[in-house]
Structure 1
Amino acid sequence: MRLLVIGAVAAGTSAAAKARRNDDDAEIVIYEKDRDISYSGCGLPYYIGKEIEDIGELTPRDSSFFKKKYNIDVFTGHEVLNINSDLKEVSVLNLSTNEVFKDNYDKLIIATGASPFVPPIEGIDKNNVFFLRNVQSARNIRDYIDNKKPKNAVIVGTGFIGFEMLENLICDGINVTIVEMQNKITPNLDEDMALFLENTLLKKNINIIKNSTIVKIDDESVTLNDNTVLKSDMVIMATGVRPNTELAREAGIEVGVTKAIKVNNKMETNITDIYACGDCIETFSSITGKPVYKPLGSTANKTGRIAGDNATNGNLEYKGNLGTGIFKLFDLTIANTGLSEKEAIQEGYEIQICHNIKPDKPAYFNGKEMVIKAIADKNTEKILGVQIVGYEGVDKRIDVFATLITYGAKVDELFHLDLAYAPPFSTTKDPVHYTGMILDNALNNNRKIITPKQLRKLVTENEKVQIVDARVSKQYDQAHVEDAVNIPHSNLRESMENVDKDSVVVTYCNKGVTGNATQNIFINHGYKKVYNLSGGYKFYKGSK
């Protein structure tokens, strides 16, 4: 059996390696138009920032490695020009010699990846404009910084690559402005969590311009759509990627609603004996079952393995994804999994939200707070999605939540998880436990939560609402929610007669715990409509 693979990065090499494990007699050939293969694309920003000195650490495998270990022939600098599925052959261009030749296959795997989206901007083809997509582009950026010594840079886009480049350019001593066309940063966060992150970054003197696009790039400046001119010796375009589907479409292979190649759960396309995997394919949400486009390295490796297995008579099936992502930004860690609030509402879920602010470990072990936003389905009480902005320990918690969502956990089950505890690693009740407790209380024990956004709307609509600040007077005097009255928790029982039982009562403290205790007292004294402010004043202020 002769297996051809088009593309030799994460998905293609994973597919070929799995195929070899299944069939030691198969002829396996990979064609790759680039010169680097099987590299860690996610590590490229850290090579640019010199956190990784040798780019060879990101490209540990070459063609000789695959030949020696797997008996797989990898031809770099070879571009597949077209696919003839009737004859089961491909035309290949040797980019070094310009020779075009044909090769035949019994099974074909397409792993053509994705390419950066190039917006129509005057000057985008200048030598000081860069798209970070492969090893050579990382080398080019590093060489430009070393040789040209830029003082000012503009990054367009606030996704993973944009923010990772922000950190590494600043660490190089470059003054950076980040430009985002949307009204919020970070596409993987809801607006409230994005605002909380933005306010945290502003305290670090990060320059962020939202609701803006670049219309012109010059050698030492860029011009925005409102005619603002920014100093800029270099521009990093982090505007996202688009799946490389032209080769597949020309061969009659179907693309899906996301404009990526449509495959089934075995990575089979609509044409017999042709499979596809990696950043060029459309996958599906394991929550909704609907098509999604999630170009992630983890997904590429999984789908590559499944394609290679089924191309060699295996039976692996793809189970869907949650779009779980995580990235580092200075000392911060930002992560998400599952549906966002916006996505859950669009899917028709009736949702319960909570914001939980807890340290990753005790203060005496230098614990730092993380903000966890969790979204649950009110009807099934299952967790739908989680977003976290914090410092240490975020990776551990997001992986726990991803596992819980994958297996359909309900909110009341989170409290009963037997998670590892010791003071250097966690608090006795982990932030995961607290998240479950808050949601369970809101759904089942009449401990209702109101988000900052909901509270602002309630006040705007002139509802009869009384906001009670349960903190000590000194904290209230420093700053408080508009129109709130200060009744410290310790004085509440003596002063609560001043709060109208027929009104909506909203309690809050700094982060939510004392606000909840105050809420309990009101409820136990016969108040019927009592809410605790989700995330307390800290999140209220941080998400404005």
Structure 2
Amino acid sequence: MPKHIVIVGGVAGGATVAAQLRRLNKDIRISIFEKGGQIAYSNCGIPYYIGGIVPDRNSILRDCQDFSDKYDAAIHLYTEVTSIDREKQRISFIDLKDNKEGYEEYDHLILSPGASARIPDIPNLNAGNCFPIRSIQDMDHVHQFIEESSPKTALIAGGGFIGVEMAENLILRGLNVQLLERSKQVMGILDSDMAELMEKEMRDKGISLLFDEELAAVEDGGTTFVMKSGKRTEADLLILSMGIIPNTSLAEQSGLKIGETKGIVANEFMQTNDPLIYVLGDAAETVDPILHKPKQVPLAWPAHRQAYIIANHIAGVPIPYKGTYGTAIVKFFDLAAGMIGHNEKTLKSMETPFKTEVVEAKSHAGYFPGSMPLKIKLHYDPVSRAILGAQTIGKDGADKRIDVIAAAMKGKLTVDDLQEIELAYAPPFSSPKDPVNILGYMASSKNINKE
């Protein structure tokens, strides 16, 4: 095993791979270089701290000294890696606190650069009430602004995961919320009929949804927001949640391959085109195991799995990473929407033939108190019968069903196999034929009738 592992970037990817490396070997040197001031934290917890659901800031942070002591890792915070000399196997860096430069040699280098918030190029976004939401620093800025300025209204630009979660949490802080989205729906990862259910819930909670609109300018010191259509709206606070951009500049400068998705290309062991350099997390381009296309998915589960793959490969135990399905879930108050794989839009864009089954059922036996509407939508290949993607939405049971479908897809079950999955039943939990089973029966019945 190599003597010195250098990791660029902390948070989920870098911190986790360091922990996995130490688990496998007690003797190697591990050095982590992190541009920010935290070695590890939960990005996913940021909206919930702002909303007060998670009251303790420290609960979503990992103490740097504790991490260093536990995993015997040299941690360099506020230190930016500026270049990679692949021939000499060393990185150059600058200490951002005292502006001192240095270098560090490596046997293996692991890149976990993450991604940055997408910021539109429009005037006056530097106003004191305009904030991206990506890092702990961003979180602290928003939290401080709310505490000190007591805003009454907020505009959220972007209706993806973070936009929806921030909408909920700003409502919990007592703000009136508008959400601006340049497409025709929230949660572009959902099919439009599924997104409509989320939109209804958001409107029911008082959110004003502005579709087919894009932010063009900020005026009046940051309180007036102008759309490209010419419409204007006012708010005390602007949250930018317009997606992310993989941080690939260091890799590009070093001659590492950038792929179709603008991520750093990784092979099945998470190696770049330089076998001594690995990549993981938000900036990594892997493979979609459904359609075998390049895929870049900024989620926590893939980053943690990739960390395990890299650590074991360095230790001489080659375990291939088999791709990212993109299983995810989002909540808005009591409503949850789960998703995996491909939606109608992506399947059509890739000219992939598919059929669809939709089940509108109850979360458990309808006669048992507390039963809630549940909708499941599933796309599958009409010939191979392989499941291509699925979405669930409801106030109870959406998470359970998307997880069952995720396991089915990982196990290469067909849509017809869903009818045979023996799921736990009692009236408080499900029905004798679970909605997932019904999807299988419906697809199978249509196939038999066609024959």
In 1, are the aligned partners of 2:50 and 2:169 still within 8 Å (CA)? yes
Matches within 5 A, 1:39-438: 39-59=41-61, 61-218=62-219, 219-363=222-366, 364-438=368-442
Q: Per-residue displacement from partner, 1:103-139 (whole Å, max 9, x unpaired)?
A: 1111100101000111112211211111111112111
Q: Per-residue displacement from partner, 1:226-264 (whole Å, max 9, x unpaired)?
A: 222111111000000010011111111111111110110
Tell me, in whole angstroms, the C-alpha distance in 1 between the residues paired with 2:175 and 2:202: 17
Q: What amino acid does structure 1 have at the position aligned with 2:316?
A: N
Tell me, in whole angstroms, the C-alpha distance in 2 between the residues paired with 1:265 and 1:382: 23
Aligned-pair distance for 1:306? 1.5
Q: Per-residue displacement from partner, 1:201-229 (whole Å, max 9, x unpaired)?
A: 33443210110011111322211112221
In 1, are the aligned partners of 2:9 and 2:112 still within 8 Å (CA)? yes
Task: Report the 3-state secondary structure (helix = DSSP H, G, I; strand = E; otherwise coil) of the residue aligned with 1:365.
Answer: coil
Whether 2:3 is the aligned partner of 1:4: answer no
**Structure having the higher Rg:** 1
Matches within 5 A, 1:431-510: 431-446=435-450
Task: Report the 3-state secondary structure (helix = DSSP H, G, I; strand = E; otherwise coil) of the residue aligned with 1:415.
Answer: helix
Q: Percent identity?
A: 34
Tell me, in whole angstroms, the C-alpha distance in 1 between the residues paired with 2:447 and 2:185: 30
Q: Which gives a bigger RCO, structure 1 or 2 (Cα 8 Å, sep 6+)?
A: 2
Task: Report the 3-state secondary structure (helix = DSSP H, G, I; strand = E; otherwise coil) of the residue aligned with 2:41.
Answer: coil
Aligned-pair distance for 1:192? 2.4
Q: What amino acid does structure 2 have at the position aligned with 1:232?
A: A
Tell me, in whole angstroms, the C-alpha distance in 2 between the residues paired with 1:88 and 1:383: 44
Task: Report the 3-state secondary structure (helix = DSSP H, G, I; strand = E; otherwise coil) of the residue aligned with 2:19.
Answer: helix
C-alpha distance 200-169 of structure 1, shift in aligned 2 (>3 A):
closer
Q: What amino acid does structure 2 have at the position aligned with 1:10?
A: A
Q: How many residues align?
A: 446
Task: Report the 3-state secondary structure (helix = DSSP H, G, I; strand = E; otherwise coil) of the residue aligned with 2:422.
Answer: coil
In 2, are the aligned partners of 1:115 and 1:133 still within 8 Å (CA)? yes
Q: Per-residue displacement from partner, 1:402-458 (whole Å, max 9, x unpaired)?
A: 1111222122211111111112211221111111112222222359xxxxxxxxxxx
Aligned-pair distance for 1:286? 0.8
Tell me, in whole angstroms, the C-alpha distance in 2 between the residues paired with 1:144 and 1:375: 44
Task: Report the 3-state secondary structure (helix = DSSP H, G, I; strand = E; otherwise coil) of the residue aligned with 1:432.
Answer: helix
Q: TM-score by structure 2 length?
A: 0.96
In 1, are the aligned partners of 2:198 and 2:335 still within 8 Å (CA)? no
Task: Report the 3-state secondary structure (helix = DSSP H, G, I; strand = E; otherwise coil) of the residue aligned with 1:255.
Answer: coil
Tell me, in whole angstroms, the C-alpha distance in 2 between the residues paired with 1:305 and 1:7: 16
Tell me, in whole angstroms, the C-alpha distance in 2 between the residues paired with 1:243 and 1:411: 34
Tell me, in whole angstroms, the C-alpha distance in 1 between the residues paired with 2:39 and 2:396: 32
CA RMSD of aligned residues (A): 1.4
Tell me, in whole angstroms, the C-alpha distance in 1 between the residues paired with 2:285 and 2:158: 23
Aligned-pair distance for 1:41? 0.5
Task: Report the 3-state secondary structure (helix = DSSP H, G, I; strand = E; otherwise coil) of the residue aligned with 1:385.
Answer: strand
Whether 2:70 is the aligned partner of 1:31: answer no
In 2, are the aligned partners of 1:15 and 1:309 still within 8 Å (CA)? no
Q: TM-score by structure 1 length?
A: 0.80
Tell me, in whole angstroms, the C-alpha distance in 2 between the residues paired with 1:205 and 1:64: 44
Moved more, 120-129 or 4-13: 120-129
In 2, are the aligned partners of 1:352 and 1:443 still within 8 Å (CA)? no
Contiguous gaps of at least 5 residues in structure 2? none
Tell me, in whole angstroms, the C-alpha distance in 1 between the residues paired with 2:393 and 2:247: 32
Tell me, in whole angstroms, the C-alpha distance in 1 between the residues paired with 2:415 and 2:88: 55
Q: What amino acid does structure 2 have at the position aligned with 1:119?
A: P
Task: Report the 3-state secondary structure (helix = DSSP H, G, I; strand = E; otherwise coil) of the residue aligned with 1:318.
Answer: coil
Task: Report the 3-state secondary structure (helix = DSSP H, G, I; strand = E; otherwise coil) of the residue aligned with 2:420.
Answer: coil
Q: What amino acid does structure 2 have at the position aligned with 1:303?
A: Q
In 1, are the aligned partners of 2:176 and 2:206 still within 8 Å (CA)? no
Aligned-pair distance for 1:385? 0.9
Moved more, 310-319 or 105-114: 310-319
Tell me, in whole angstroms, the C-alpha distance in 1 between the residues paired with 2:319 and 2:352: 31
Task: Report the 3-state secondary structure (helix = DSSP H, G, I; strand = E; otherwise coil) of the residue aligned with 1:428.
Answer: coil
Task: Report the 3-state secondary structure (helix = DSSP H, G, I; strand = E; otherwise coil) of the residue aligned with 2:97.
Answer: coil
Q: Per-residue displacement from partner, 1:69-121 (whole Å, max 9, x unpaired)?
A: 21111121111111111111111111121111111111100101000111112
Tell me, in whole angstroms, the C-alpha distance in 2 between the residues paired with 1:308 and 1:8: 15
Tell me, in whole angstroms, the C-alpha distance in 2 between the residues paired with 1:347 and 1:436: 25
1:17 to 1, 16, 19: 19
